[in-house]
Chain A
Amino acid sequence: MTPKKELQFAYGLIIILFLVGVVSYAGFPAKTPDQPIRIMYKGVAGKVLFDHKTHASEAGYGLSCSDCHHHPEDEDSSLRACGDCHQAPAEGQEFPESCTECHEPDEIEDTEIIKNTDAFHSQCEECHQDSGAGPEENRCSWCHVL
């Protein structure tokens, strides 16, 4: 190739690949599946990778949704992310918004909602210990990645 052709080729690369890049980013954004596959929980004690699919699928541990998604109790359709309720209320509010969607404030004023990380910790630990899958004592790093 002559230097001129090399330069033209480089300009061509810029234009074509830039267009392909823009189209890919704009037209095919990374998909978020309806049911999570894996979830990365983050807290002060580091990150915890939770394999939602393996826990929920029949081929995996075959847990039912309500084993973890405990509220509301009856409707599968109202399964929601744990963090919707287990969160600190917005400034000036007593409860997280998701609570007041269904409940009157005086109806739930005595209810204590534990923090997201505490909820996960007790939930994971309890089930893991029951099924003998637990982390051994002092082996926090089996789940927590700092």
Chain B
Amino acid sequence: MLNQKKFIVSHAPFWHDGSTVTARSYNMIIAALPAVLFGFISYGMPAVGVVSLSVSSAIVWELLFNKISKRTISIGDGNAALIGILFGMLLPATSPWWLVITGTFVAVVIGKQIFGGIGGNPFNPVLIGLAILMVSWKDFFDFNEALVNYDLGFAMVYPLSALKHLGTSGIDAFNTADLLMGQQSGGIGATFGLGLIIGGIYLIIRGFIRWEISVSFLAGVVITALLFNLVNSAQWAGPVFHLLTGYTLIGAFFLATEDSSSPVNFIPMLIYGAGAGIMTVLIRNTGAHIDGVVFAILLMNLVNPLLDRIRPKALGKVV
């Protein structure tokens, strides 16, 4: 039994295709930049401060934990920087410095490092950080309250909270083109729909994220929102509104696709993505929270190990 041959590998030399984790991380950061820069232009220096502090503190937390746990310094792979920038993108521009630093600590150390670092985390670290902060200090994540001193020339009420409290009569002020072009309040890097879509398509074409997850996530959102809308169009918004508001697009392209917390096979990826999309709209329409993306993806992260059991049968005799 001990000599059973499991793999047959040909002789060296091998050829590495040149792809690295580092390249992947920094490409994802580049893909996120259009949306981030749009946030900087909209919200000015406070937004620059939040994102800069978020990236640098995320790398510092990883460096410190590497030192404390006496492991190889892993900050070179850019994953901590990626966590930092995604976390900063979800925050309102007025977040205080301590909130940013606490959030990146939770994301990097509790969300990733204590599970053994990159690849070992069962949940998306960014969402772990954000969820814990949202539950702990929910007033800072009330975009209506956080952005009370901003007047950017469009309806500044947070679209999803207008929908939640007023029904579709509350969202007449928003039209699709404006929402796509970022004419809405929200997280620093989460409002510019077009930028997020361009970034997402770039990542899909380069193969850094799986299209199956993004597309099924968006399909889940569209179908569920459409069903609700058909039942009662006065209370529940249509699918396009749900696609372009809140964290939907950043969730579909940058958060749900996090590799260690999402499935690897085709069917599981579709179930995972669609499940997160469906849960997003269910939480928005019938749940207590205003936006459902964070908890929907975390919930599907939880289901991920089960989904991974749906896999192709091994060829030949299985012992």
Q: Which residues of A contact B (CB under 8 A)?
A: 1, 3, 6-7, 9-11, 13-18, 20-25, 27-33, 36-40, 47, 49, 53, 141-142, 145
Contact = CB atoms under 8 A, between A and B. Distances in A.
A31 B149 contact: yes
Interface stretch (B71-79, B189-197, B224-232): B71-79
Contacts of B144: 38, 40, 47, 49, 145
B97 A25 contact: yes
B149 A7 contact: no
A142 B166 contact: yes
B45 A28 contact: yes
Most buried by B among A16, A49, A142: A49
If over half of A's interface residues share one DSSP class (helix, strand or loop), that class is named, otherwise mixed; here it is helix
B56 A28 contact: no
Interface of B: 22, 44-46, 48-50, 52-57, 59-60, 63, 73, 75-78, 80-81, 93-94, 97, 142, 144-145, 148-151, 156-157, 161, 165-166
A13 B59 contact: yes
A23 B78 CA distance: 24
Given A36-B148, A47-B142, 12 more contacts: A1-B22, A6-B78, A10-B59, A17-B56, A23-B49, A24-B48, A24-B52, A28-B44, A28-B45, A38-B144, A38-B156, A141-B165
A110 B46 CA distance: 47
Interface of B is mostly: helix
B22 A17 contact: no
A62 B218 CA distance: 43
A17 B149 contact: no
A37 B150 contact: yes
Contacts of A47: 142, 144-145
Contact of A30 (B48, B55, B149, B156): B149
